[in-house]
Chains A and B, each alone.
Chain A
């Protein structure tokens, strides 16, 4: 029988601990990266005859053994549909699924597990808020305010919404370092601003945005704020109550969990006022052909059979964050990022894109002698996985007048040796392209 921490956390109205995982009591204050690496089986993979150097975690992270095992165990011992049957397996599945909801609430310090909507990922969460909350409040002439740093998934849903509602999309500019121009942001806020949607951490540049200030200023104007936390959650301890945001969205797959699962945190009063996003089973209280009464939050937003195994895996990923010291892990990652930045900057003909004072996890750059796509192919043959292209953030590329970048992105399992391998292979690029 499978047991996870989730089991004990199951239950409606389960009390939350009141603070996010800031390291586990008893966990070592020093960070043993080799122990962490041993938890990730794929890091032992050989690609093109070379040991894998995985520098693409902002794209998707790798998964620890515990996550893989939790999903495997789920299918072996608990697979059934949730909330629907009286048999034991359904009870186990429901317990794991709802246990993860409570686990998520503790992870981001949400006040109530019922303010956690389980989604298929960040994109799903943003689309839900745009389609449900956005359509409910937006009137012609209203404004939605984004920043220039957004991923396409935090642009396009708002564009669609604004077009439908006759509303206007505004964009806060960034400076040359890749930081949001806060004065300009404040200037763009007005009593017409209904929604502010901004990334906590930029996926393309790694900039950590001053989101507390951004939220506070938006609230002064009466706007609600959605924070896209997809790139923040794997690196930073997130506390949605301290941030005071109205919505916070993220994906499981960028934080060591499986693809196809994610989270929308919403202020409960807002979630309760919002109309359903999709219709179907499980989101209803009663259905007749004349009228349907909707289920309470968060179930109102969870139509159909969800990705139960994915949610179970996400729960195991959250548990994994409890297995090491978060602050020590962050210090380790910051050290590797600083080392990578220094080494890449020293290569003649290199330009780093995004040099914000406050950054995490991402090093984007271009070389004057080779196109990023060619760099990506050459690095791949050396066993090094990076992302090349525009990173679903075309406006940022346009802002810097470039078509693409090479992006090396980090997670807790990366080391200075990974950076050394990258630098050696960038020399190989120089050999080919001269």
Chain B
């Protein structure tokens, strides 16, 4: 059985208390709402693009520690990346939080602190809300809020 401290690692608690890039971007290229109706987590993601490059990324909203820390860590990880790289990282992140606990979690650098979520199936949606919101934000021709349900 995993320990609670595997889920609530210090990095996650820190990003929950002091979320990075927790601000609006006035001249955002894309703004996307994300909502988890099960627990009421709600966030707005702001993406500033230069061509295919993500030059700035931020979020605002309310949610549990896991969803807030995940959004915060994501904004740090994706700034400076291309849209294609972000999509590729989305897939790898998604694999990490949904992979079997029998195998070692893939190493995603700092994002690996969220691999503990694998042990808590009811919390996977919290960890992936920001990522689903990002995927919708950079998809072409989407509108309307994204929901994890």
Digitize B34-61: 1 where CB-to-A-CB distance is under 8 Å, 0 elsewhere.
0001111110000000000000000000
Taking CB as reference atom, which chain A residue is nearest B65?
Answer: A374
Tell me if B39 and A404 are in contact (CB < 8 A): yes
Q: Which of B7, B13, B39, B120 is A389 in contact with, Cβ under 8 Å?
A: B39
Number of interface residues, chain B, beta carbon within 8 A:
21
Q: Does A236 contact B (CB under 8 A)?
A: no
Q: Does A48 contact B (CB under 8 A)?
A: yes
Tell me if B41 and A373 are in contact (CB < 8 A): yes
Residues on the A chain within 8 Å of B67, using CB? 373
Tell me if A397 and B40 are in contact (CB < 8 A): yes
CA distance A80 to B126 in the complex (A): 45
CA distance A45 to B1 in the complex (A): 17
Given contacts A373-B39, A389-B40, contact A403 B4 (CB under 8 A): no
Q: How many CB-defined contacts (below 8 Å) exist between A and B?
A: 51
Residues on the A chain within 8 Å of B38, using CB? 389
CA distance A323 to B27 in the complex (A): 68
Digitize B112-133: 1 where CB-to-A-CB distance is under 8 Å, 0 elsewhere.
0000000010110010000000
Q: For residue B117, give the distance in angstroms from its CB to the closest CB of chain A.
A: 10
Q: Which of B1, B4, B42, B126 is A373 in contact with, Cβ under 8 Å?
A: B126
Q: Does A371 contact B (CB under 8 A)?
A: yes
Tell me if A378 and B40 are in contact (CB < 8 A): no
Tell me if A371 and B4 are in contact (CB < 8 A): no
Residues on the B chain within 8 Å of A433, using CB? 13, 65
Tell me if A374 and B64 are in contact (CB < 8 A): yes
Q: For residue B22, give the distance in angstroms from its CB to the closest CB of chain A.
A: 15
Tell me if B13 and A371 are in contact (CB < 8 A): no
Tell me if A390 and B40 are in contact (CB < 8 A): yes
Taking CB as reference atom, which chain B residue is nearest A382?
Answer: B4
Q: Does A159 contact B (CB under 8 A)?
A: no
Taking CB as reference atom, which chain B residue is nearest A404?
Answer: B40
Residues on the B chain within 8 Å of A278, using CB? none
Residues on the A chain within 8 Å of B8, using CB? 374, 432
Tell me if B4 and A374 are in contact (CB < 8 A): no
- State which size class the interface on A falls in: 20 to 34
Q: Does B63 contact A (CB under 8 A)?
A: yes
Tell me if A373 and B13 are in contact (CB < 8 A): no
Within 8 A of B (CB), among A361-398: 370-374, 377-378, 381, 388-390, 394, 397
Tell me if B40 and A403 are in contact (CB < 8 A): yes
Q: For residue B108, give the distance in angstroms from its CB to the closest CB of chain A.
A: 22
Residues on the A chain within 8 Å of B41, using CB? 373, 403
Q: Does A26 contact B (CB under 8 A)?
A: no
Q: Does A348 contact B (CB under 8 A)?
A: no
Residues on the B chain within 8 Å of A397, using CB? 40
Residues on the A chain within 8 Å of B39, using CB? 372-373, 388-390, 403-404
Q: For residue A428, give the distance in angstroms from its CB to the closest CB of chain B.
A: 8
Q: Does B62 contact A (CB under 8 A)?
A: yes
Q: Does A13 contact B (CB under 8 A)?
A: no
Residues on the A chain within 8 Å of B64, using CB? 371-374
Q: For residue B40, give the distance in angstroms from its CB to the closest CB of chain A.
A: 3
Tell me if B40 and A381 are in contact (CB < 8 A): no
Within 8 A of B (CB), among A25-55: 48-49
Tell me if B65 and A370 are in contact (CB < 8 A): yes
CA distance A431 to B42 in the complex (A): 26
CA distance A389 to B1 in the complex (A): 25
Apart from A373-B39, A373-B126, 12 more pairs, CB < 8 Å: A48-B1, A370-B65, A373-B63, A374-B8, A374-B64, A377-B7, A378-B4, A388-B39, A404-B39, A404-B40, A433-B13, A433-B65
Top 10 nearest A-B pairs (CB, nearest first) are A403-B40, A373-B64, A371-B64, A404-B40, A373-B39, A389-B39, A374-B65, A374-B64, A390-B40, A432-B8
Give 24 pairs: A residue, B residue, CB < 8 Å, sorted on A.
Answer: A48-B1, A49-B1, A370-B65, A371-B64, A372-B64, A373-B41, A373-B67, A374-B64, A374-B66, A377-B120, A377-B123, A381-B4, A388-B39, A389-B38, A389-B40, A390-B37, A390-B39, A394-B40, A397-B40, A403-B40, A403-B41, A432-B8, A433-B13, A433-B65
B residues touching A (Cβ–Cβ < 8 Å)? 1, 4, 7-8, 13, 37-42, 62-67, 120, 122-123, 126
